[in-house]
Every structure is written in structure tokens, then in C-alpha cells.
């Protein structure tokens, strides 16, 4: 009886050892939902790391089709990238404020670029938009959303500000006029972009700051679909 029990125990150990070796040598062919999500996240992170591994900003397209780097001017005290769409009503309402800031800071070493993010937007539409709204800045196209990914913006209008060392120091709203979905102040009480520009042209050190922009989501660029502002059309 004792011999039979010992034999059974030995066989069990051998069986467990066999399963363990099989688990080590057999490749994984499936995973749980949680593992799948982690795998997707890892893939996305790898792609992003590859796209920006050299640390150089992507090149965008001028309206004439030439490749341009908006961060090439090392002498500029600040480079302001304003992400816009011609059919985003909130972007268009900021035209007077952007004109005001341009008058204040364009002569103080601040360069401004209008980054058009809709890949289906014809160049002629952009030209008409610039003529109609008189938004100051050099227009560039980002049809593949390279600069969108590089800066991390998600909204139009949203700004990304770089200092003279091409370090991102601000990303977010122009001001606080649009405070939430469907809520707008009669006029802004916090001028975030202007505060950053004032500090940079005065030679101050500016730490990275982020604010939440309200407007049209950049991801909502399906064909024949109008932009979906994150607040209503009033205000």
C-alpha cells in the first residue's frame, strides 16, 4: 500500500513538472481583455516613440505644397501654433482676439502659425477662410496629424507655445471665454496665451502649463460630417 502511494505521488510530481515545462516552452496564443488593452497601449506607445525618437518636430505643408518646420526659427522668443479648422465656429470667433495678440507681440519676437488639421480641406477653402476672417499667422497644413500628435492637442482652437529653445511651455486654450460645454462668458477674464507670451518676451522662465480647450474635436473628421463643437453655437 505504501509503495502504491509513493508511486502515485511520483507520477503526480512528474505530471506537474511536465505541465510546467510545457507552459514555459509553448508560445502564448491568446490573452484576456485586460491583457489585450495593455497590448494595444504598448503598440501605440511604440509607434509614438518611433515618430518622435529623434526629437525633431515634423514638417508641415505650406499652401503651395512646400515642407515647412514651424519651429525652425531659433531667434524667435516664442513660436505659437494655433490649431484651427475653417468650419469650426469657435475657432472663427477667436479672430479678433488673435488679431489683438498679433498686434501686441508680432514685433517682439513672436511667430505665429495657423495649423489647419482637416486633411479634406482644400487649399482654396483655406485661402478663402484667411481672407474672410483675417486670422494672422502663417498658414500650414497638417493632413496626417503629425504635429497634432507631436504637440498632443485635441481641439480646435487649441494652442501650443514653444520658447526659443523649442521647449513646449504651454498647451491649451487661448483664454477662458468658453468655460464649459454650452457655457460662454460675455468676455474672457483669464488670458492664458497672452500671459505666456508676455513672460517669454520679457525673458522669463516659463514652466510647462496645460489648460483645457473648448471647441471642435480634431478626431471628428469623418467625410461629409460637420464639426462637433464642445459647446453650442451661441455665445
Quote the CA–CA distance of 189 and 60 in Å, as a whole number: 34
Output the CA torsion sign for 222, 225, 227, 230: negative
For the chain, what's the residue count? 235
Q: What is the pLDDT of residue 92?
A: 94
Q: What is the pLDDT of residue 221?
A: 53
Q: What is the pLDDT of residue 5?
A: 42
DSSP assignments along 26-46, one per residue: SPP----HHHHHHHHHHHHHH
Query: What is this structure's pTM?
Result: 0.72
In order along its 235 residues, the chain shows pLDDT tens digits of: 444 444 444 444 444 444 333 333 333 222 222 222 222 233 233 333 334 446 688 999 999 999 999 999 888 999 999 999 999 999 999 999 999 999 999 999 999 999 999 999 999 999 999 999 999 999 999 999 999 999 999 999 999 999 999 999 999 999 999 987 678 999 999 999 999 999 999 999 999 999 999 999 998 554 434 444 444 434 4
Residue 163 backbone dihedrals phi, psi, to 5 degrees: -85, -170
Give residue for cell 486633411.
119
Q: What is the pLDDT of residue 153?
A: 96
Q: What is the pLDDT of residue 171?
A: 98
Quote the CA–CA distance of 180 and 155 in Å, as a whole number: 13
Beta bridge partners of 112: 80
The 10 Å Cβ neighbour count of residue 40 is 10
The H or E element containing residue 20 is helix 2-25
Residue 102 backbone dihedrals phi, psi, to 5 degrees: -65, -45
Q: What is the CATH number of domain 60-217?
A: 3.40.30.10
Residue 173 near residue 213 (C-beta atoms within 8 A)? yes
Alpha helices in 134-174 (DSSP H): 146-151
| Grid cell listed for 233 | 453655437
Residue 76 near residue 189 (C-beta atoms within 8 A)? no
The 10 Å Cβ neighbour count of residue 64 is 7
Residue 213 near residue 85 (C-beta atoms within 8 A)? no
The H or E element containing residue 60 is strand 60-61
Q: What is the pLDDT of residue 32?
A: 27
Q: What is the pLDDT of residue 215?
A: 92
Residue-range domain boundaries for the chain: 60-217
Which residues fall within 8 angstroms of residue 79, CB to CB, at 6 or more apart?
Answer: 70, 71, 73, 110, 111, 113, 161, 162, 166
Give residue for cell 515642407.
67
Amino acid at each position: 500500500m505504501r509503495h502504491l502511494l509513493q508511486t502515485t505521488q511520483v507520477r503526480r510530481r512528474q505530471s506537474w513538472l511536465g505541465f510546467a515545462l510545457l507552459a514555459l516552452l509553448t508560445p502564448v496564443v491568446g490573452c484576456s481583455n485586460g491583457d489585450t488593452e495593455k497590448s494595444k497601449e504598448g503598440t501605440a506607445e511604440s509607434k509614438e516613440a518611433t515618430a518622435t525618437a529623434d526629437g525633431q518636430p515634423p514638417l508641415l505643408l505650406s499652401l503651395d505644397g512646400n515642407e515647412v518646420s514651424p519651429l525652425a526659427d531659433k531667434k524667435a522668443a516664442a513660436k505659437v501654433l494655433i490649431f484651427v479648422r475653417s468650419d469650426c465656429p469657435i475657432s472663427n470667433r477667436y479672430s479678433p482676439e488673435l488679431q489683438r495678440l498679433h498686434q501686441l507681440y508680432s514685433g517682439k519676437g513672436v511667430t505665429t502659425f495657423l495649423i489647419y488639421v482637416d486633411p479634406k480641406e482644400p487649399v482654396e477653402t483655406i485661402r478663402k477662410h484667411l481672407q474672410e476672417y483675417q486670422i494672422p499667422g502663417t498658414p500650414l497644413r497638417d493632413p496626417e496629424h503629425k504635429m497634432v500628435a507631436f504637440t498632443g492637442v485635441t481641439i480646435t482652437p487649441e494652442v501650443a507655445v514653444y520658447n526659443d529653445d523649442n521647449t513646449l511651455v504651454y498647451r491649451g486654450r487661448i483664454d477662458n471665454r468658453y468655460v464649459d460645454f454650452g457655457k460662454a462668458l460675455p468676455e474672457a477674464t483669464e488670458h492664458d496665451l497672452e500671459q505666456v507670451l508676455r513672460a517669454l518676451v520679457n525673458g522669463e522662465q516659463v514652466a510647462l502649463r496645460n489648460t483645457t480647450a473648448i471647441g471642435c474635436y480634431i478626431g471628428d473628421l469623418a467625410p461629409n460630417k460637420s464639426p462637433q463643437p464642445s459647446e453650442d453655437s451661441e455665445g
